[in-house]
Structure 1
Amino acid sequence: MDLRTPPLFFLLLWFGLSQCTTKTASDQAAAPDSTVAFTQSLRPAWADSVGATAFPEGTAEFSVNDYGARADGTTLTTEAIQRAIDACAEQGGGLVTFRPGQYLTGSLFLKQGVHLRLDRGVTLLGSQNIADYPEIDTRVAGLEMRWPAALLNVLDQTHVAITGDGTVHAQGKPFWDYYWNLRREYEAKGLRWIVDYDAKRPRTLLVSNASDVTLRGLTLQQAGFWTVHVLYSDHVTVDGLVIRNNVDGHGPSTDGIDIDSSRWILVENCDIDCNDDNFCLKAGRDWDGLRVNRPTEYVVIRYCLSRKGGGLITFGSETSGGIRHVLAHDLQAKGTGIGLRFKSAMTRGGTVEDVHLQRITMDSVGTVLEATVNWNPSYSYSTLPEGYTYETLPPHWKAMLTPVEPAERGIPQFRDVFVSDVEASYADKALVAIGAEATRLENFHLWNLNIRAEEAGTIDYATGWTFRNVAIRTEEGDSLVVDHSEAMAW
């Protein structure tokens, strides 16, 4: 199919049965059912059950200054802050507070019942010495391995909160520089696929194997790596965070909020400016992710703003455990690289399904909707160059090199995606959706899309897509090209 888009005015693509002159029998059979499914998808019943179900109840106050913390911004005060946290937990929970000032610290570990509150005028400064972040067992970029703890950690805990109008400045620039230097060295050796795992950089805030956790109101700056990572957790609320990672540069892989093999998660009222995916859902990578096999599911993301970054909302590329039951609505993207992004690789496996994306506006994004099952091959596929002995490799190298067997387990699937009420202006491309012969992009339903872009784009290897009231406008009148696809209802 070749849809010619006239220049300087809207081409209305009314994808209804009565408005298409050429229909196949499969098209006519599929369209009514998909319309019913779309209508029923607008508010999934599970969406009211996400987020933290409890908040720390203790009211006793534990000032870190009473435990020896100094607010001069230069004295490492990790131990004093940790003493206040431990004392609060030992006495049944309560508030850990700070007098105004700057506090230099390494990794801190929150405990059950603790509410860490950073009031206005309080800044936590992350140490720039990697030795101040002890290594822990965790998962990073889809792979379980030893890795530095985050600046703020909620590990194996319940009923924890981190809130306030204060700032967490991770001071991550030295970790960015280290990464870029190592990447240049590794790329010359054919090791692009492992450099992100060898360049150990601390995350800013990690919630792992935890439940009933609330993160609210903070401003987070200059993450060394990912900013907020919710891993193997349930019933977490992330509310009103402001993330500013493009401070004094543009750090690599400084994701905003990553939800990773977790469930019953609520993210709302957040404003993210970063240098990689802004709001991202993940579930493990390749052999290791398939071994763990834990999905991300029951997630609501709403009333959020994405500025610079790789994707307003991204699914993948770590898809091995599956991503399903997601509702994202009332979102904005301003200058973001990609708007709605689905990405995986042919060794990842997993299924992304039952995704509902509603009421979204975009201004000056790269591509409005992108889907690919063969994302970034130099990073996605692991091949050991000559000159290395397998037996002497680090464990995480061996995990990355372990093949997925049978190979069919590594083929990802994207299906049952519902996109409605999207307004996009000044985009580079409208749609870039490319599946493969072995895994077609299945049952994407687009309803009420109004897009202005330089190029219309491409749909390749898709099946069962439906379009209702979709308008695309391009400056040059190029074509939206659909190839190797079937049962497309318009």
Structure 2
Amino acid sequence: MTEQQIAGSEPATGSMKEVRIPVFPDSAWVVTDFGAKGDGITDNTKAFQDAIEACSAGGGGTVVIPAGIWLTGPIRLRSKIRLHAEQGALVTFSRSFDDYPLIRSNYEGLDAVRAMPPIYGENLTDIAVTGGGVFDGSGDAWRCVKKHKMTERQWNERISQGGVVDGGGLWWPTREASEGRRATEALQANGLMDIALYEPYKVYLRPVLVGLTGCSGVLLDGPTFQNSGSWCLHPRLCEHVTIRRVTVRNPWHSVNGDGLDLDSCRYANIHDCFFDVGDDAICLKSGKNEQGRRTGVPTEYVTIRNCIVYHGHGGFTVGSEMSGGIRHIEVSDCMFIGTDNGLRFKSTRGRGGIVENIRISNVRMKDIEKSGIVFDMYYEIQDDYAAPAPVTEGTPCFRDITITDTCCLGARQGIFLRGLPERALQRLKFERVTVSSEEGLACIDAEDVLFRDVKIIARTGPAYREHNSRGIRFVDASEAAVR
């Protein structure tokens, strides 16, 4: 890739802001010049880091990883560094938990102690990971496995490796990992962030594969990122983020195996990417509950286009951690095939935050397991219809969202809209949307919703049902819309 191909900026679309792409000096440092060996056996942690430090000391540039299999521990990025994995390069990260120090971080919207990400950067300017290589996070060494998601043979192979099986049908790599959730949540609840207290539970504190916090000028262009211990790509509190032409892969059964979680970021452009993952594929977040509201940094001015998603809990997802707000988002020309949900908006009481000004167009979906389009404010709530609660700063708000020129061929539920009785979903608009599903359209606690030229074909269930909703309008709908 030439300097000209990565310099400049991504064009703005509509009302979106221009996204600046980092520019790097022409200088290059090759990891083999620092003693790295691509034999799959040699530990290259020091050689990789020495190359990065030399590049940084020289004013920045490109650190080149040639073709080969490169074993390494975590890579710490520096400002003005482009890490370039050439075609044929497989970077496989260590399976030894001792190679990953614990750091203070943020996970699922809350302050947390976690294992250092295999690719890690904080408060940096102008960084990139590029090329046609593959970065493998060795996440299978960290993850628990749910029995009901495995075949009998797969399950037996997993438990034959050792580890611990708990009473809930979960296999854990160690007993410390199986005990980690209860222990670390108790520490968090008491505001205890001393890293030493978390050391016994490191195996539970699975790292994301690419963790970038507080960075400006981020470019991910070309590589495959796969097999993460937890989420795969997690930019947080970053600005001017470009993610293009990347492939993100996790096993479909991987717990918390999200593809991309764009978290309290602004000015981002994601396009021409492929996702096949174990949880939400392309997800927008902005912190959780009171902590997220206190940080108060929305995810905003984001364009997502020309992406394909295969497995995933949601093709494009907002939430459920959205307490800092999410706004000014454009999604277009994407395809979701075989995901659990297609377009997924989720939140719950306690989150607070406002999600608004989102435009989605030209999305094609096929063989969706659950809902083609879902707005659900009952995330992790079991009730179908809850009694109204007082409106507080913890009451989430979803409004002014438009979905146009979109179709879904095959889903259990076509469109499912469920707000809260104390705060309905507000001012949603659907235009030229076609859905073929088992059940059609449900509107629960929604108001001022427009369906224009919307066709919903329900094969077995009701085409339309409504509860406690107001201002639901159908305009120029075909006769099939209520069939």
Range class of TM-score, shorter chain: 0.7 to 0.9
Residues 145, 255 of structure 2: 8 Å contact kept: no
1:9 corresponds to? none
- The structural deviation recorded for 1:237 is 0.2
Which of 399, 404, 419 is the matching residue for 2:403? Answer: 419
Q: Sort the Cα spacing of 1:277 and 1:189 in 2 relative to 1 into closer, same or farther, 3 A.
A: closer
CA distance in 2, matches of 1:280, 1:94: 31
Aligned residues: 417
Which of 463, 468, 474 is the matching residue for 1:479? Answer: 463
Residues 50, 299 of structure 1: 8 Å contact kept: no
1:49-80, CA deviations, whole angstroms, 9 ceiling, x for partnerless residues?
343x2423212121111112121212221111
Secondary structure, aligned partner of 1:290: helix
2:127 corresponds to? 160
Which of 334, 342, 367 is the matching residue for 2:371? Answer: 367
1:202 corresponds to? 207
Q: For 1:239-258, list aligned pairs within 5 A.
A: 239-246=244-251, 250-258=253-261
Matched, 1:95 2:62: yes
Residues 50, 266 of structure 1: 8 Å contact kept: no
Q: Sort the Cα spacing of 1:328 and 1:63 in 2 relative to 1 into closer, same or farther, 3 A.
A: same
CA distance in 2, matches of 1:213, 1:71: 27
Q: Sort the Cα spacing of 1:46 and 1:154 in 2 relative to 1 into closer, same or farther, 3 A.
A: farther
CA distance in 1, matches of 2:440, 2:391: 34
Matched, 1:113 2:80: yes
Which of 347, 352, 371 is the matching residue for 1:349? Answer: 352
Which of 267, 271, 278 is the matching residue for 2:274? Answer: 271
- The structural deviation recorded for 1:333 is 0.3
CA distance in 2, matches of 1:125, 1:345: 38
Matched, 1:445 2:414: no
Q: Which moved more, 1:72-81 or 1:277-286?
A: 72-81
Residues 300, 329 of structure 2: 8 Å contact kept: yes
Which of 26, 40, 50 is the matching residue for 1:73? Answer: 40
Which of 3, 10, 15 is the matching residue for 1:46? Answer: 15
2:192 corresponds to? none
Matched, 1:409 2:393: yes
Which of 293, 306, 310 is the matching residue for 1:307? Answer: 310
Q: For 1:295-334, list aligned pairs within 5 A.
A: 295-334=298-337
Secondary structure, aligned partner of 2:243: strand
Residues 364, 428 of structure 1: 8 Å contact kept: no
Which protein, 1 or 2, shows the higher relative CO under an 8 Å CA cutoff with sep ≥ 6?
A: 1
Secondary structure, aligned partner of 1:84: helix
Residues 127, 219 of structure 2: 8 Å contact kept: yes
Which of 377, 380, 395 is the matching residue for 1:376? Answer: 380
Which of 111, 119, 122 is the matching residue for 2:89? Answer: 122
Residues 216, 240 of structure 2: 8 Å contact kept: yes
- The structural deviation recorded for 1:179 is 9.0
- The structural deviation recorded for 1:204 is 0.8
2:159 corresponds to? none
Amino acid at match of 2:69: Q
Residues 21, 241 of structure 2: 8 Å contact kept: no
1:434 corresponds to? 418
Amino acid at match of 2:449: W
- The structural deviation recorded for 1:44 is 6.5
Q: Sort the Cα spacing of 1:192 and 1:252 in 2 relative to 1 into closer, same or farther, 3 A.
A: farther
Matched, 1:62 2:46: no
- The structural deviation recorded for 1:143 is 0.5
Residues 235, 265 of structure 2: 8 Å contact kept: yes
CA distance in 2, matches of 1:258, 1:182: 29
Q: Sort the Cα spacing of 1:67 and 1:187 in 2 relative to 1 into closer, same or farther, 3 A.
A: closer
1:106-140, CA deviations, whole angstroms, 9 ceiling, x for partnerless residues?
21111111111001110110112222222222211
Please provide the CA RMSD for this pair.
Answer: 2.5
Secondary structure, aligned partner of 2:411: strand
2:265 corresponds to? 262
Gaps of 5+ in 2: 1-11, 148-164, 171-176, 189-200, 383-389, 475-483
Secondary structure, aligned partner of 1:294: coil
Residues 305, 331 of structure 2: 8 Å contact kept: yes
Q: Sort the Cα spacing of 1:441 and 1:130 in 2 relative to 1 into closer, same or farther, 3 A.
A: same
CA distance in 1, matches of 2:438, 2:146: 34
Secondary structure, aligned partner of 1:83: helix
Residues 414, 441 of structure 2: 8 Å contact kept: yes
Secondary structure, aligned partner of 1:436: coil
Q: Sort the Cα spacing of 1:360 and 1:78 in 2 relative to 1 into closer, same or farther, 3 A.
A: same
Secondary structure, aligned partner of 2:307: strand
1:298-338, CA deviations, whole angstroms, 9 ceiling, x for partnerless residues?
10000000100011110000011001110000010000111
CA distance in 1, matches of 2:391, 2:45: 47
1:420-466, CA deviations, whole angstroms, 9 ceiling, x for partnerless residues?
01111011110111111111011110000011111114210000101
Q: Sort the Cα spacing of 1:295 and 1:183 in 2 relative to 1 into closer, same or farther, 3 A.
A: farther
Secondary structure, aligned partner of 1:299: strand
1:379-416, CA deviations, whole angstroms, 9 ceiling, x for partnerless residues?
xxxxxxxxxxxxxxxxxxxxxxxxxxx97111101111
Q: Which moved more, 1:197-206 or 1:455-464?
A: 197-206
Amino acid at match of 2:210: L
Secondary structure, aligned partner of 2:48: helix
- The structural deviation recorded for 1:349 is 0.8
1:233 corresponds to? 238
